[in-house]
Amino acid sequence: MKIKLLGIVLLLSLPAFAAEHIQTSKTNPTAVQEEDEPRPFVGLLTGAYTSKDANDSSAEFGLIGGYQLLPIALQVEFSGAKYRDEGTDKDKTNLLLEGTYHLAGDDILRRYTHLGLGLGLIVRSSATDFAWAPLAGFDVPLGDKKEKFFSLGADVKYLFTNSTPTEGVDVNASLKYWF
């Protein structure tokens, strides 16, 4: 419970911290002058978690928040799902710090694609596991990127852990709000 509370506090404080470092104009305080200026974001994610043994899948829900300065972004993911261990469904909570590199090419495939790595903890009732996860995904803006906007994205990652029951694949869709 303490880890969940700490995760929520950290996630909610990221936009406030990031907002202090954004330069704005006096005529339009919400406008971003260049696309490569720093951008904080918060969002929701939903998807599925499948264990290493691939004998079970469960829904996954979570919160994300972070900061992007193209081509690099850092985000915190706080999510939860169920896993099966010895025939019993159990809860797990992921707290990951993820760093991504945005390919940002001219074609539509590379323009919104990112690759990265996540590091963190998976908290379950009986133990806490260290996890690392290579990831790939995309974020497509749903509005003018010079103003506040939403983006719709997806990512896939494989969670490597020091415990077999919580190792597996996460596939998630996300809706982010960019400040």
The string of pLDDT tens digits covering residues 28-86 is 333 334 555 778 999 999 999 988 876 678 899 999 999 998 889 999 999 998 877 77
Query: What is the pLDDT at residue 100?
Result: 96
Give the Cα separation of 143 and 74 in Å (integer): 22
**Do 144 and 153 meet the contact criterion of CB atoms below 8 Å apart?**
no
**Residue whose entry in the numeric block shows the structure tokens 């974020």:** 139
Q: Mind listing the pLDDT tens digit for each residue in 13-35?
A: 544 444 444 444 343 333 334 55
Q: Of the CATH numbers 2.40.160.20, 3.30.390.10, 2.30.110.10, 3.10.20.600, which one belongs to the domain with range 2-16+39-178? A: 2.40.160.20
